[in-house]
Structure 1
Amino acid sequence: MASRDLLNRLPAPVRWLALPAALLGCTAWLAVSWSGDPDVAPPGQDAGTARYCAALDAALPAEVLGHRRADPSPASPYTAAWASSPRTVLTCGADRPDLLNDTERKGPCVDEVGWGLAEDGAGGYRFATGLREAYVVVEVPAGAYGNYADPLGSFSSAIRATVPRIDGKADSDCLDDAS
């Protein structure tokens, strides 16, 4: 009862604005607490890999098939994301992805870059480049695009231009690239 008396002693405009102010404060707190992307952690690299990944990051497109780039926070040259819903995530410089160890998981060759392929268990796919100075992994969730391999064309030319093959071969022979 004492709290009700206290509330009634406040001027009417303060009483009317108390609830909206509290809701606005809660909304602001939620927006700040959810702004990070703890599920997208950048990998650690050696100096050479870091240079390739930084060059790739600068060459990546601002938009992929109508989805704008919206990188995870904190910003890193080793991770990039596009605001598809759900989002597509590219990671550069991680350890060799296991999906490249399975010769039956060979994926498409797109713009002279070969990709290894694996399902992610949730209806989406993981792609990874092989035989490059830095491994590049692209996670394409279910429903992000009409065809799961569609975004690879947006990344392949940037990869070809910035992350050289480890075997020194020309990129035109990508039959062995995903191995």
Structure 2
Amino acid sequence: MNIPNSLTLFRIVLIPVLVALFYWPEAHTYFLTAVVFAVAAVTDWLDGYLARKLGQSTPLGAFLDPVADKLMVAVALALLIERYDAAWFTIPAVIIIGREIVISALREWMAELGKRTSVAVSYLGKVKTTAQMVAIFGWLLVSPESNGMLYNANIVLLYTAALLTLWSMVIYLHAAWPDLRETSGD
């Protein structure tokens, strides 16, 4: 077990902590839940950085890192869908979750074809992930009764994240399209 893999496992352990804090009946839990999510987001960046910097990339890390990231994002968005209980929130959240499932399946399928690099993480994917993390952090931080500049900024961030999510999905599907089309006759 190396440092990057330990950070990834720590991020997975933070998921039930996030859920427990989300439902804790105290007013200050908005802040604590947002902090737990922020710590998870930072470890997402840090484990990848350390794996490259220290030469500690492993097959376990390559598998667990995207799983931990997608689980944290999906769980946080599912919690927030319940909190905000409105189409204006649910639609972009479902777009984000759905894209993650589609691209994960696409990457797995392309790996089976030996063409995983054609759907490797891109710069846009990193920007999309950052937008998602910042948006989710913002929504965890505010209560549904809030309004004002932070609330409005969160709306813009959520929709920006959803648009980047769709855009990156189109790019990945476009890159894989020749292989998708080629094998669709089987």
The two structures have a TM-score, normalised by structure 1, of: 0.24
Q: Which has the higher helix share?
A: 2
Give the structure with higher Rg (CA). Answer: 1
Using CA pairs below 8 Å that are at least 6 residues apart, which structure has the higher relative contact order?
Answer: 2
**Higher strand share goes to which structure?**
1
Q: If the length of structure 2 is used for normalisation, what is the TM-score? A: 0.23
